[in-house]
């Protein structure tokens, strides 16, 4: 069973905002890091984003140019599945059960039975993801928050099959990355998304009912002490990601009305208005 001292290499699957942030964290913690994605363009964007994040730290006096270069030197980028070999593999791909399972099956074929398979899922039960994966005891939840290189919390979730030692190792890994790790039960939404879901859902219901505008709702919540209103936050997280999590929780709670996904949000997703990353969401960022 892999311990924290055994970990030398980390592979991150998915070069989106979350995946690139996790890869940056892994390299900053001193690990040889692979960022894998099928899309070469996504890898190019991720490389630029990581360099920009690190340069921002340099500009603020939080880091040095030498440290920036050392971190970048620890990250390799690949769209070749055969290179997906590491001590820990963290997936940060689309929030769909079959896609995550398929990835872990392929990763299991390429790696040793001790390789830890960690999922950054926001809401899908770890028990479901691990089902049918060889050695399911090494499948564990490692849920970061966006932006991963800044947000401090990481939820570590054990499924029904997850070995205690695996959860302990991932907990220690999160702490080595400078995060505050918490153990969460394998229940819909875990801790944060279960608690926070209505921050988005209720705001969307108010918008659907024409009670207030996007700006009005955000201003009200920010005036009440929240750092960001629900619509600004959805644009930051990704409107598509947020909708996917809500949809997943709606199904897991057996279509409980209080988790109903919003028609307005679905329309944004269908139009490709996914927030800051597409320059348009509930707000325009051009």
158 and 30 in a common domain: yes
67 and 120 in a common domain: yes
Q: Is 120 an annotated catalytic residue?
A: no
36 and 150 in a common domain: yes
Which bin fits 61, alpha (ψ -120 to 50), beta or left (φ > 0)? Answer: left
pLDDT at 56: 92
Q: Is the Cβ–Cβ distance between 43 and 16 less than 8 Å?
A: no
122, 123, 158, 262: which one is catalytic?
Answer: 122
Give the model confidence (pLDDT) of 105-136 as tens digits.
999 999 999 999 999 998 899 999 999 999 99
Q: Does residue 286 fall inside a structural domain?
A: no
| Mean pLDDT for back-to-back runs of 10 residues, the chain (286 residues) | 94 95 97 97 96 94 93 97 98 94 98 97 94 97 92 97 98 98 93 93 97 97 96 94 92 92 97 95 96
Q: What's the CATH code of the domain at 216?
A: 1.10.1040.50
Q: How many CB atoms lie within 10 A of CB 194?
A: 17
Q: How many CB atoms lie within 10 A of CB 32?
A: 16
Residue at a domain's end among 163, 184, 205: 184
Q: Does residue 283 fall inside a structural domain?
A: no
Q: Where are the beta strands (DSSP E) in the chain?
A: 9-13, 32-36, 75-78, 88-91, 116-119, 139-143, 153-158, 180-184
Q: Does residue 57 fall inside a structural domain?
A: yes
pLDDT at 147: 86
Q: How many CB atoms lie within 10 A of CB 217?
A: 21
148 and 47 in a common domain: yes
218 and 155 in a common domain: no
Q: Is the Cβ–Cβ distance between 145 and 192 less than 8 Å?
A: yes
pLDDT at 177: 97
Owning domain of residue 111: 4-184
- Number of structural domains (the chain) is 2
178 and 199 in a common domain: no
Q: What's the CATH code of the domain at 70?
A: 3.40.50.720
Residue at a domain's end among 184, 208, 231: 184
Q: Does residue 114 fall inside a structural domain?
A: yes
Residue at a domain's end among 150, 184, 218: 184
Q: Does residue 204 fall inside a structural domain?
A: yes
Cα gap 145→228, rounded to integer Å? 15
193, 242, 244, 262: which one is catalytic?
Answer: 193
Q: Does residue 150 fall inside a structural domain?
A: yes
Q: Does residue 282 fall inside a structural domain?
A: no
pLDDT at 146: 85
161 and 22 in a common domain: yes
95, 143, 158, 248: which one is catalytic?
Answer: 143
From the list 105, 191, 96, the residue with the least C-alpha distance to 153 is 191
Q: Does residue 272 fall inside a structural domain?
A: yes
Q: How many CB atoms lie within 10 A of CB 55?
A: 13
Distances (CA, A) of 197 to 27, 119, 264: 31, 20, 16
Cα gap 89→234, rounded to integer Å? 27
45 and 103 in a common domain: yes
65 and 43 in a common domain: yes
99 and 180 in a common domain: yes
Q: Is 210 an annotated catalytic residue?
A: no
137, 149, 155, 274: which one is catalytic?
Answer: 155
Q: Is 122 an annotated catalytic residue?
A: yes
Which strands form 153-158's sheet, in the order they lie side by side?
A: 75-78, 32-36, 9-13, 88-91, 116-119, 139-143, 153-158, 180-184
209 and 162 in a common domain: no
14 and 119 in a common domain: yes
Q: Is 143 an annotated catalytic residue?
A: yes
């Amino acid at each position: 069973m892999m311990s924290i001292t055994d970990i030398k290499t980390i592979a991150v699957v998915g070069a989106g905002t979350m995946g690139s942030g996790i890869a940056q964290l892994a390299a900053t913690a001193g690990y040889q890091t692979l960022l894998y994605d099928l899309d070469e363009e996504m890898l190019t964007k991720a490389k630029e984003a990581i360099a920009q994040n690190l340069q921002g730290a340099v500009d603020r006096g939080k880091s040095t140019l030498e440290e920036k270069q050392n971190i970048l030197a620890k990250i390799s980028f690949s769209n070749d599945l055969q290179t997906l070999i590491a001590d820990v593999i963290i997936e940060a791909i689309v929030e769909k059960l079959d896609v995550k399972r398929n990835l872990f099956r392929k990763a299991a074929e390429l790696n040793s039975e001790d390789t830890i398979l960690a999922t950054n899922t926001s809401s899908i039960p770890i028990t479901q993801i691990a089902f049918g994966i060889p050695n399911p005891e090494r499948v564990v939840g490692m849920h970061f928050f966006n932006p991963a290189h800044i947000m401090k919390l990481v939820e570590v979730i054990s499924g029904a099959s997850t070995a205690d030692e695996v959860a302990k190792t991932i907990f220690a890994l999160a702490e080595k990355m400078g995060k505050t790790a918490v153990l969460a039960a394998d229940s819909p939404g875990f801790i944060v998304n279960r608690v926070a879901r209505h921050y988005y859902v209720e705001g969307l219901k108010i918008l659907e009912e024409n009670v207030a505008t996007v700006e009005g709702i955000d201003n009200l919540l920010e005036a009440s002490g929240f750092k960001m209103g629900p619509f600004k936050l959805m644009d930051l997280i990704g409107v598509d990601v947020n909708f996917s999590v809500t949809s997943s929780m709606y199904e897991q709670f057996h279509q409980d009305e209080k988790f109903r996904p919003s028609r307005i949000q679905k329309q944004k997703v269908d139009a490709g208005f996914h927030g800051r990353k597409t320059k348009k969401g509930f707000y325009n960022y051009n």
